[in-house]
Amino acid sequence: MNLKNLPKKLTQYEQIHLLTHTDLDGIGPSIVLDAFGINHNPYYVETRKIDEVVMEKIAEQNDQELIIITDLSVNEETAAAIDLVNNHPNGKYIILIDHHASAIYLNDFIWAEVKPEVNGIKMSATTLIFKSLLDASFEVSPLQRTTNEDDEVVIIQPEYSAKEKNEMLTRLTHFVENIRLYDTWDWHALSIQEAADLNTVFYARRRHEFAKDRMHYILNGELFTEEDANYLHFSKEELRKLLKKKSKQMNIIENYQLLGHDTPVNIGVVETDSFFSELGNHLAEKFEEEIDCVFIISLVKNKVSLRSIGSTVDLSKIAKNYNGGGHPNASGCDLSALGPDFIQAIFNAQK
């Protein structure tokens, strides 16, 4: 979605609501909007809830309000509802910016932009909205939040010099690229540990604290705080222990037929509530000769993270059949959507 094609200029909307995912690439667009001086109300939404939340926001949407959806896709019914709003704008409008291959069909709508790749480079939602704002001639001019005597949050936008803007743009570009590297797993291929560390810190911190400290980096040049550095030292040892432990605990479901794939596959299954991507890719590589993909189950969250290497299995097509979505090598879905047959297959594998 080219922001220049909005019915009115981005800054002319009285309210901007951002509906975005709960992961690092979900908070990225909110930080980018703040860095460009665009005030907005962020809402962090799980993939399985997005259609419900979008329909609620449509019902509440007032004139002169813009809704931006990032790092999430909607189903056909919700897309039709968005199309109806945008065909009769009355000061209202909704746009969607995503990078998941499972959402390509939304490019049929003028208000959506789904780009898994640009010039052979894998995209993230954070990268796409960053590029859109640059293309629309926005300058880095960060909002700053302070508290007044009544303990109310006050938003200010200081005047920045050209030199300061250039320095902040450099830092913001670096931050956006780190998110892209992690979300696409390019960090692993290129051995850029800083991107993985950023994701580790994101899950260790409260969301608003993470955003505040990254904005401090854009303003002043410190990507990781002392608290972040201490946690990273601790977490790397915990990750080493987890990889060793879960490698021994993994079960293999052989010749299991999944929706979205033509032939039966061998699935490595393990349960954890942390380090999903790191564990999934570690197991996919270690057991490459024995399994086609890895399913990382979180019983607490009722979620399954799907990981693979190579091009044998397109996980985005599989996840879409189980109320999820994502990329060919990294996707996610609800555990309950896989049904009792999958749970029974796990128990049989354990036996």
Q: Sorting pLDDT into bands at 50, 70 and 90, what band is 31?
A: very high
What is the pLDDT at residue 151? 74
Nearest by Cα to 129 from 46, 16, 206, 219: 16
Residue with tokens 């993470």: 210
Alpha carbon distances (Å) from 26 to 68, 89, 282, 341: 12, 26, 24, 32
Residues 6 or more apart whose Cβ sits within 8 Å of residue 203: 274
The burial of 173, by beta-carbon neighbours within 10 Å (0-12 exposed, 13-18 middle, 19 or more buried), is given as middle
* CA triple 197-201-203, angle to 5 deg: 120
What is the pLDDT at residue 351? 61
Exposed e or buried b for every residue in 147-157, given b needs 16+ CB within 10 A? eeeeeeeeeee
Residues 6 or more apart whose Cβ sits within 8 Å of residue 57: 17, 19, 43, 67
pLDDT tens, 244-260? 999 999 999 999 999 99
Integer Cα distance of 185 and 170 in angstroms: 22
pLDDT tens, 225-245? 999 998 888 888 888 888 999
Q: Give 270-339 as a DSSP string.
A: EE-SS-HHHHHHHHHHHTTTT-SEEEEEETTTTEEEEE--SSS--HHHHHHTTT-EE-SSEEEEEHHHHH
What is the pLDDT at residue 2? 73
Q: How is residue 6 written in tokens?
A: 């909005």
Whether 350 shows a pLDDT value over 80: the answer reads no
The reported pTM is 0.83
Q: How is residue 304 written in tokens?
A: 């399954």
Average pLDDT, the chain: 92
pLDDT tens, 283-316? 999 999 999 999 999 988 888 999 998 888 999 8
pLDDT tens, 180-222? 999 998 998 898 999 999 999 998 889 999 999 999 999 999 8
Integer Cα distance of 292 and 287 in angstroms: 9
Q: How is residue 110 written in tokens?
A: 């003028």
